[in-house]
Chain A
Amino acid sequence: MEKPLTKNIPPNGDGPLPLTAYEKAGGYESVRKALNASPATITDLVTKAKLRGRGGAGFSTGMKWSFVPMGKDAPHPKYLLANADEMEPGTFKDRLLLEGDPHQLIEGMIVAAYAIQADIAYIFLRAEYTLAAKRLSRAIAEAYEKHYLGRNILGSGYSLEIYLHVSAGRYMCGEETGLLNALEGKRANPRSKPPFPPIAGLWGKPTIVQNVETLCNLPHIINNGPQWFTSLSLTADGGTKLYGASGKVKRPGLWELPMGTTIREILEGHAGGMRDGVKLRGLLPGGASTDFLTEQHLDVRMDFREVQKAGSRLGTGTMIVLDDQTCPVGMVWNLERFFSQESCGWCTPCWSGLNWAERILRAMEEGRGQMGDLEKLEFQTKFNAPGHTFCALAPGAMEPLQSALKYFHADFEQHIREHRCPWR
């Protein structure tokens, strides 16, 4: 089984390969290849590889690039942004790539930037990823030294500058357009679309924002071709995927597996199943802002379409596991507290509703729940539905809540009835 994304990452947590070793392992080969091809060819390859964005939304990468104005009259500078603001609770996949193989990301960024003829690239990094910041800075400096970055890259005539921007630290900064505002020094409020960032993004110029994992796939697509890439997958979406598991499993962790690996294989095979003495009650398949799945869904393939069919989302592909010794109400309260904290305060349903939901859940946990609270929570899940709010934060926040109300209704009722949390 091929593991292109993680093959150069030392398994024991050692630092990343230095540039010479990275090059020896085939590193930056895709940059040479790409620079010899036309930008359109690169976009075409990526489209054919069926690479979908790994940040959670799963939008076709090649299609996104095709919206960027190209040619003589295109506005410049154009921007490529690596979204490394990994703040989704339970998600730590990009961290591995950033800390373990920073050159892979830079290589992927050069390829993507070349395909859209970007002039400037930024890595927007989560504030807490200080080790990644150190390693990225070093890698960027190395890449500049070897002329993979800067003016006239490898004599090709193409130039690209990369800057590392460390975020001030807010969940909203990871939202595509919130990230643009944050990078411009504004509040990380989401922007209205249109204009979509490929047309008018950072400082009003064409901008592509891609998740770290998405970008890391690019060198391998260029080196090995789209057919190879689709063949890595078990389903319609191309490539491998970094899957993770956290919670009371035997071996929490992160594994690069073929796209479309089943939940059961990840949970039982790679994470070693539940710890002794606890049973699985449910799981959030792709981070905190996805709906709960339960035991009945264990054979669902973890790809964009299949997880959606099961009533949730692939999201980031890193699952949070709930066991029978943990209070589901408490877990959801914890998540809603996070989302409520991170609401940017722009649209009313989000800033008013998340806070309210969080307080109700806390009250339940503290034995102050009341009859009628469940209706209020149900109301919020509908009130904050997609399209009702300005961006996807609040609808995402409602996903674990609405599915918890569905699957763990009795637990909520018990909290209210008994005026206490049965797990406390």
Chain B
Amino acid sequence: MAAIYIDDQAYKADPKQNLLHACLSLGFNLPYFCWHPAMGSVGACRQCAVKQFQDEKDTRGRIVMACMTPAADGTRISIEDQEAVAFRAGVIEGMMINHPHDCPVCDEGGHCHLQDMTVMTGHDYRRYSFLKRTFRNQYLGPLVNHEMNRCIQCYRCVRFYREYAGGRDFDVFGLRDQVYFGRQNEGVLENEFSGNLVEVCPTGVFTDKTLKRHYARKWDMQMAPSVCVHCGLGCNITPGERYGILRQIVTRYNREVNGYFLCDRGRYGYEFVNSSHRIRQAGIAGEKNTASRTKVDVIQRLSSLVVPGAKVIGIGSPRASLESNFLLRTLVGPEHFYAGVDDHQYRLALTMLDILRTGPSRSPSLREVELSDAVLILGEDVTNVAPRMALSLRQSVRQQPMQVIDKMRIPPWDDHAVRHVLQDAKGPLFVASPAATRLDDVATRTYRASPDDVARLGFGIANALDDAAPAVPDLPGDLRTLVDQIATALKNARRPLVISGPGCNNEAVIQAAANVARALYTARLPATLSFTTPECNSFGLALMAPAPLSQAFAAVRDGAANVVVILENDLYRRLPAHLVDEFLNSVSQVVVLDHLQTRTTERASLVLPAATFAEADGTLVSSEGRAQRFYQVFVPDGDIRASWHWLRDAIAIARSPAPTWEHIDDVIAAMARDIPALAMVPKAAPSGSFRIWGEKVPREPHRYSGRTAMHANIDVHEPKPPDDPDTPLSFSMEGTPEQPPGALIPFFWSPGWNSIQATNFYQSEIAGPLREGDPGVRLIEPARDATGEYYVHIPNAFARQSHEWLLVPLYHIFGSEELSLVSSGIAELAPKPYVALSADDAESLGLRPGEAVRIHLDNIAYRLPVVINKDLPSGVAGLPIGVPPLTGIHLPAYSTLLPDREYSKTP
């Protein structure tokens, strides 16, 4: 540590950091704009100016930019120096020349970094008497709003979009005070992380377009720490609610997981919570009159179906919390609890878990992914299945080239200096997948092949790294070269990473990835192994080891079950419709707990309105193996309750002796006792009895307005805030003013820092862990004495069939995931169903883009327009899985492709 002097007081600082980082880490209010903790310094805005002195005798000093000056030992600076203070006010004055005074009607108002910094510098009087410059705004798609007149030219947006996120369709144009940030032509932003512009922009140039439709100020929103449910990564989010409407999602910093950023699916997928298709009242088939029915009636009804002796089975869900799954398991008994995914997907999840728990390789956090210096991706289109990880991988390719900057004595935070030195140099990243991926632009090499061939490549690499790994027979010569190139790159790395997952729906791909990681481990390299998971609790469900779904179907067929309770699951998205129909037709009672009306709820005899992530507490296990708690944001209208609440109450009636479970902690404790793999879950967050000086943590900011008025149409008396017996959070603005531990931070705010930049003051140091640690607890660690064996079953090379195509799943960040597709913006960006073919294959069939073909899967015919995907191997076709009607199908599968001219004529 270095000793630095700030206004003649000695402090400790990290000499590898800059002075702005040091000052903010020490809690000083030093304003800034262009610097960003994840993107480093560029020295553009000049806002963080301080006075630097040569030594204690130097009384003149000179103005320096804190962000561009190392916190070297002995550095003496003054923040309070009058010249520095005046200079910082001058910078704001310069920005305010053109900034419109539209705060009252600006969506950013109240969480605007520019507002905060303006107040902080004390600039309050306008001396500029000429016209402001104005711009024309652009339509940037359904997610991000553009208002360029507010721009202060800090360049953060373009740095994030182009340099950090790799986008190409957004840039900076013009010069002097007319710099314009936008697209060359109006249009939808192409980058999957465009929503971060909303947070990266220090003012209201880029704002959340979905928030605009149901706007509330940050200070007027009720918020709680939460976890994204739209993929398996478990990004931490802060949802905000007012008047029973979920208004927006912003990033909740977790250094180990998502850091400062989210993907657009995570940020904008929330609108299903507000959907008109929500199930808000319990429904009993055949009963129309719901008005007089109480929750108790419904629970009675449920309990009556599951009394001892009834032949009840439960189907769990990879998108429901551990608690809900566990209580369903408890209600029906572990032997009657089934995985709510198709057998093959479930088997892959078990295989991945087994590899991570018995093998030698550790699953990395996203931060560790970012620090990896050589990456092999086997079979995954990361950007579309685990989007936030793709952003980390974009940073990982800088790790190897970054090694030179040390020698050149360029600090890593000096972002543009580093970029000027590195230019286009990229470290090793190899992508093997059936089709093009959105990471190919930073890949060293890509390999396009069928899933089996992707697996063979992986097996070959493992063998090249370690002779003991099985060899791949008849690997062609050019592939041999690629195998050697990848093996060498991984071997020469300090922190190699292998990524795979269930994307190809191919177990050999996963096993090949395990072999590569094992081979690296044998070569004494600390390789990490990351598997993506398709849903927010895929691993959580698999850790409970339910029986496969086909056995549930068998149990019903055999007459061993006649009541089925389905938890937060639309079986029609899991399996072909005729199988689900047959299953549901064969039982006498179908109970479904879910958020939205689905084909499955249509078949239910009893529907229970299940709370979404925003209306419930619960725990999810991410693909890293991290158990993370999400907290209820608001109390919903109607009968909506957390699934585990419904199930708990049913158990209390139906079971005798009934367990005395009151709160979530009781459920978690029972679960941790019952299921050894989940023993650590109680450590994911503080218990419900946690208090700070006897007080709860308020979900509402202290400026929350209108609480006496908002119910005045019902009662002029202010209602008592709802109780929250489960958690240390209160549905109120009252409570501790202190900072809670990481897992309990409902929103980031610090005096003078109303924007999300207040995150700075919750970290142990800037961009470091949250104070008291980053939220979550890892449930999955490699075996300490990992012995294990290589997988030896190597699939045969793919051989093109003469009349059939191998249909592989293609994923879409917008479209493949069920719940986010309900958001209108996401739906707008989702593709229409199609079948993708290579240009040659299309030509051989005499098909042109847009023409229709007929495919057959599970005896169902689909007519789909052709899309040319030049990267698909010959004999392989792709389908956008999850995009209706392409749900409930099992891929890869073979099908003929029959041109359907008649269909083509219809629009």
- Residue numbers of A with Cβ under 8 A of B are 170, 180, 187, 191-195, 199-200, 203-204, 340-349, 351-356, 359, 363, 370, 372, 376, 379, 383, 385, 387-390
Contact = CB atoms under 8 A, between A and B. Distances in A.
B63 A370 contact: no
Contacts of A346: 44, 155
A356 B175 contact: no
Contacts of A363: 130
B68 A348 contact: no
B177 A351 contact: yes
B905 interface: no
Contacts of B422: 204
A340 B98 CA distance: 15
Nearest to A363: B130
- In the complex, the 5 A-B pairs of residues with the closest C-beta atoms, listed nearest first: A352-B94, A345-B179, A343-B176, A345-B175, A204-B423
A199 B47 CA distance: 29
Nearest to A339: B176
A296 to B, nearest CB: 28
B772 to A, nearest CB: 36
A195 B421 contact: yes
Interface stretch (B318-326, B406-414, B713-721): B406-414
Given A192-B416, A356-B97, A390 B176 contact: no
A376 B127 CA distance: 8
Nearest to A360: B130
A348 B416 contact: no
A348 B45 contact: yes
B134 to A, nearest CB: 14
Task: Sort chain B's interface into a size bin.
Answer: 35 or more
B176 A341 contact: yes
A388 B177 contact: no
Contacts of B91: 348-349
Nearest to B411: A194
Interface of B: 42-47, 49, 62-64, 68, 87, 90-91, 93-95, 97-98, 127-130, 152-153, 155, 172, 174-179, 408-410, 414, 416-417, 420-423, 425
B176 A347 contact: no
B45 A347 contact: yes
Contacts of B62: 387
B128 A347 contact: no
Given A349-B90, A349-B94, 13 more contacts: A192-B414, A192-B417, A194-B408, A194-B410, A195-B417, A204-B420, A204-B423, A343-B176, A345-B153, A348-B45, A348-B153, A351-B153, A390-B43
Contacts of B421: 195, 200, 204
B381 to A, nearest CB: 31
Contacts of A372: 127
Q: In this complex, which of A192, A345, A348, A388 has the most chain B Cβ atoms within 10 angstroms of its Cβ? A: A348
Contacts of B177: 343, 345, 351-352, 355
A200 B416 CA distance: 12
Given A203-B423, A388-B87, A352 B179 contact: no
Contacts of B64: 387
A195 B179 contact: no
B153 A356 contact: no
Given A345-B177, A359-B130, A370-B129, A389 B46 contact: yes
A199 B155 CA distance: 26
A385 B90 CA distance: 13
Contact of B420 (A191, A345, A370): A191
A390 B98 CA distance: 21
Q: In this complex, which of A170, A351, A354, A356 has the most chain B Cβ atoms within 10 angstroms of its Cβ? A: A351
Nearest to A355: B177
A254 B906 CA distance: 77
A341 to B, nearest CB: 6
A401 B737 CA distance: 52
Given A195-B421, A387-B64, A355 B42 contact: no
Contacts of A389: 46
Contact of A347 (B46, B408, B409): B46
Contacts of B87: 383, 388
A388 B423 contact: no
B46 A345 contact: no
A370 to B, nearest CB: 7
A379 B89 CA distance: 12
A187 B737 CA distance: 47
Nearest to B405: A195
Contacts of B174: 345
B422 to A, nearest CB: 7
Given A345-B179, A354-B176, A200 B420 contact: yes
A6 B94 CA distance: 46
Contacts of B42: 192
A372 B172 CA distance: 35
A341 B68 CA distance: 27
A351 B176 contact: yes
Nearest to B133: A355
24 contacts: A191-B416, A191-B417, A192-B414, A192-B416, A194-B410, A195-B408, A195-B421, A200-B420, A204-B425, A340-B176, A344-B176, A347-B43, A347-B44, A349-B91, A352-B95, A352-B97, A354-B176, A356-B94, A356-B130, A359-B130, A388-B46, A388-B49, A388-B63, A388-B87
B420 A195 contact: yes
Nearest to B179: A345
Contacts of A390: 43-44, 46
Contacts of A359: 130
Nearest to A172: B175
A192 B153 CA distance: 18
Contacts of A348: 44-47, 91, 94-95, 152-153
Nearest to B423: A204
B415 to A, nearest CB: 9
A379 B424 CA distance: 42
Contact of A343 (B44, B63, B128, B175): B175
Nearest to A389: B46
A348 B97 CA distance: 11
Contacts of A383: 87, 90, 94
B487 to A, nearest CB: 28
